[in-house]
A and B are shown apart, each in its own frame.
Chain A
Amino acid sequence: MGGATDILELLKKSKGRRIKVLVAKLGLDGHDRGAKVVARALKDAGLEVIYTGIRQTPEQVVETAIQEDVDVIGVSILSGAHIPLMKKLMELLREKGLDDVPVLLGGTIPIPDIPKLKELGIRNIFLPGTSLKEIIKETLEAALERREE
């Protein structure tokens, strides 16, 4: 679990280069409190956060990731439609050659669905109750790993 010191270490590793994260609400779901709290926390940790707002299609999320050239994509879904939506999103990312961008998912995800989502290539799945520190730490790690490639 990420403590504040871990996060500071990770931030140091970014060597002053800003990390850009997309925070998106995917699908017909207006519950944006969680996404906003996470966006705010990432901003406060020194990241540059692009927030798309609610009711985004997979196409919109992928296009936004392309135009903004983000390091990480964070998706929030509380509608229950996470499997088909994430499947479509991951397909589109592959199609557009963005399969190297790490994807993180947060929301009300039933535990039995987790293996399936992991199989789709989603790097982290944050369930309700996950601490902001952990989300920040995982986001930073995802961004830095991609960069080292």
Chain B
Amino acid sequence: MTTQELDTLIDKAFQGDRASIGRLLTYIERSPLDASRILNKVMGGEGGGHVIGVTGIPGSGKSTLISKLISRYKEQGLRIAVVAIDPTSPLSKGALLGDRIRMQEHATDPRVFIRSVPTRGVKGGLSFSGVAMIEVFDKLGFDKIIVESIGVGQTDIDIMNLAHTILVVTAPGMGDEIQALKAGIMEIGDIYVLNKSDKPEANRTYAYLDFALETGEIGSEKLKWRPKLIKTSAALGQGIDELVKAVEEHLEFIKEYGIYSEKISARRRYMVRLLAEKLFTEKLEEIDEEIDIANRDIYLEAIKLINKVVSQLG
């Protein structure tokens, strides 16, 4: 792609041409160099978007909940982008991306843009390109940028590096209070959502979560934000008003305490770190054969390997 082609594509994307936005995201996915060229053109300053991370166990209803949020934000006249992350198979490298099934009613709305992103072997699930896409959506003027993570239980905490507001979604009957007290995902939420609350056992699960939130120093901020617990039934459309309200309260809170901009800086540092990791790991895999297994000082061998990677990347 020549610089001129890239400029034209970016111009068209900023004019709102959806096919150009789609293509721009593909270039970001395809090559770190193109991604870097694109970001170079669009970055600088803050776009003003509110990045909402949605994580939580598989099957808790994240996609359906997001669909309901989109409906509310549309009513408010906002523009919404969704980055929906689904896992890549470690064996075939293929992926079946199905998050958007629950959001297809919004597919044709000009204010909504939904993009599915496979994890492509990144351990926490959030790839460099996923974060770079957030940056682009922000600059394209989307008001709400919703990131749906793969939701693999307790390890899916990378989302805290990039979202302004984190929703942790759970459902009744997914373990007892000890699960709720464990380290990991149950610590990072700004808002905890007990979805499918029309199900039996919902009250008991609510009590477990409430207990965990009350007793612990649980919560992502050392500051004055107390994580909220909201009961919803996305499929029945219940509790969505309360959830939207809680999300707005959190946004106001982080703006008031200057955390909003801090989080953007953190997200950009994270993006660069992810790119560094990606470049390093790919080169490391490339020179796998050069590792000297006869060298019994494996620490030294590891350092030699690092130097080799660095010299080849430079």
Contacts and interface: CB of A to CB of B under 8 A. Distances in A.
A43 B18 contact: no
Interface stretch (A59-67, A72-80, A105-113, A116-124): A59-67
B255 interface: no
Interface string B7-35: 00000000000110111011001100000
A53 interface: yes
Given A48-B118, A69-B23, A53 B96 contact: no
Interface in B80-132: 88-89, 92-98, 100-102, 104, 107-108, 113-116, 118, 120
A96 B97 CA distance: 24
Interface in B147-202: none
Interface residues of A, number: 29
Contacts, number: 80
Interface in A54-101: 56-57, 59-60, 63-64, 66-69, 96-98
A60 B30 CA distance: 25
A47 B116 contact: no
Nearest to A55: B104
B114 A67 contact: yes
Given A59-B108, A63-B107, A63-B108, A49 B22 contact: no
A43 B107 contact: no
Main secondary structure of the interface of A (DSSP, over half): mixed
A97 B107 CA distance: 18
B18 A44 contact: no
B23 A64 contact: no
A98 B253 CA distance: 44
Interface of A: 17-18, 39-40, 42-53, 56-57, 59-60, 63-64, 66-69, 96-98
